[in-house]
Amino acid sequence: MYLAGVNIGGHFSQIEANTQVIKDPFDNFITEEDIRKIKEWGFNCVRFPVDYSFFTLEDGSFDEERMKKTDRIIDFCSDAGLYVIFDLHKAPGHSFAFKERDENDIWDKKSANRKKFIDIWDMLSKRYKNRDKILYEILNEPVAPEDNMWYELADEAIAAIRENDTEHFIVVESNLWGQSSRFVNMKKYDDEKILYSFHFYDPIVVTHQMAEWTSFYKYDIYRKKTFYPGRPEGLDDSVRAKVEKLDNHFATWLDGQDKEWNIDELEKVMKPVLDFKNRHNVPVLCGEFGCVAHGDPQTRINWTRDFMALCAKHGISFTYWNYKNLDFGIYDFTEKYADNPNYQNDERLDKGVLGELQNGILHP
């Protein structure tokens, strides 16, 4: 299986980003026209992030009207001939936010949230088992204290899905936000319909430069335009020490950042994924990657071009983050980026990034 597509984050996940700028966002943020556009651009897949809270009521039951809204998006994808990855982006008892992950109780085998998580996948696999082109991504960016704790939970979710559906692919991401480095401990499943996934945002000071939610920006430690290829300016041990003092969770992301970055360095970061893929001859997906819109237009183009070249070289499927808005969009209609040089046309479309994504699509 080879997938080439985009995320439609912000529709039924991370919803707060769009409720203030779009009327009736659950109906209007992503429309059938958007899905058709994705198909016209040459992609064959949409990753569809959905937060459990979007369709789960306080008593733990499922909101049928909300589920019909997810059906609607899947129908749009089916009509366009696109695969759709149903990504459980946020799950009960699990947050991938740096400062919240210590509170996660989904790893407790006796927790009510763990049972809710399994119940969700029982429901979803029953609902969608007869769909033609659907994949189940059981959890976005797991942040288990130990890798084996994540794979034990994944085993339970896979078993619940396979009770209802033995045909569709299941997407399993590596631990700790899908880091490629965690592929050294990635579990190889006997199930031949597992798609192994990672996320890629290296180097973080390029892909997340000037991003307001990062510690190095929030605490005014490192607010620099960072160009690619090249070496980040002024990124020394003192920067890491300051971040470590204020937000130790984020500090580890700065390890190994102070060097000359180019396509060869990106490939080195990806090596654990490539080794696993080649050793087991299994399909691999990069479920998220991208460079924030704060980046210089040429930096976004250069970084995307190099990453796409690596995906093509190694036969890796991809879904770019993100189709619209959320700081990484191919499109962006927010006031925040009204004057951003990446979107200075009537369509508010980053044509450079789109072009590199299209150029990187494999055509077997």
Q: What is the 3 state secondary structure string of 13-24? A: CCHHHCCCCCCC
225 with 296: CB under 8 angstroms? yes
In one-letter notation, the amino acid at residue 289 is F
Tally of CA atoms within 13 A in the half-sphere of 216 that contains its CB: 25
pLDDT in tens, 237-266: 888 888 888 877 677 778 889 999 999 999
pLDDT score recorded for residue 241: 86
Determine the average pLDDT of the residues in 337-342.
95
Q: Which token pair is 43?
A: 């992609």
157 with 117: CB under 8 angstroms? yes
19 with 338: CB under 8 angstroms? no
Percent share of the chain, pLDDT over 90: 82
Superfamily of domain 4-204+261-359: Glycosidases (3.20.20.80)
pLDDT score recorded for residue 21: 53
The rounded Cα 301 to chain-centroid distance in angstroms is 19
pLDDT score recorded for residue 19: 46
pLDDT band at 218; cut points 50, 70, 90: confident
Q: Given the structure tokens 């390890």, which residue do they identify? A: 255
pLDDT in tens, 5-50: 999 999 999 876 544 455 677 888 999 999 999 999 999 999 999 9
More confident residue, 101 or 342: 342
* CB proximity list for 327: less than 8 A, separation 6 or greater: 211, 292, 293, 294
pLDDT score recorded for residue 125: 99
pLDDT score recorded for residue 150: 98
**Of the ranges 138-142, 190-194, 360-364, which one carries the lowest mean pLDDT score?**
360-364
Q: Which token pair is 27?
A: 């109906």
Percent share of the chain, pLDDT over 70: 98
Between CA 333 and CA 42 the distance in angstroms is: 22
Backbone angles phi, psi at 135, to 5 degrees: -125, 150
Between CA 62 and CA 50 the distance in angstroms is: 13
pLDDT score recorded for residue 18: 47
Q: Please, what is the Cα angle at 99 between 321 and 324, to 5 degrees?
A: 20
140 with 106: CB under 8 angstroms? no
pLDDT in tens, 163-214: 999 999 999 999 999 999 999 999 999 999 999 999 999 999 999 999 998 8
* Distances from the Cα of 249 to the Cα of 99, 186, 290, angstroms: 7, 22, 22
More confident residue, 77 or 95: 77
* CB proximity list for 46: less than 8 A, separation 6 or greater: 5, 6, 7, 8, 35, 38, 77, 82, 83, 84, 85, 319, 323
How are beta strands 134-137 and 83-90 bridged, if at all?
parallel
List the one residue out of 180, 238, 228 whose CA is nearest residue 208: 228
pTM: 0.96
More confident residue, 20 or 56: 56
pLDDT band at 215; cut points 50, 70, 90: confident
pLDDT band at 292; cut points 50, 70, 90: very high
What sign for the dihedral angle of Cα 214, 100, 257, 141? negative
Between CA 8 and CA 20 the distance in angstroms is: 18
Q: What kind and span of H or E run contains 216?
A: helix 215-218
| Strand residues in the chain grouped as ranges (E) | 4-7, 45-51, 83-90, 134-137, 170-173, 194-200, 284-289, 317-320
pLDDT score recorded for residue 180: 98
* Distances from the Cα of 116 to the Cα of 26, 56, 100, angstroms: 24, 10, 19
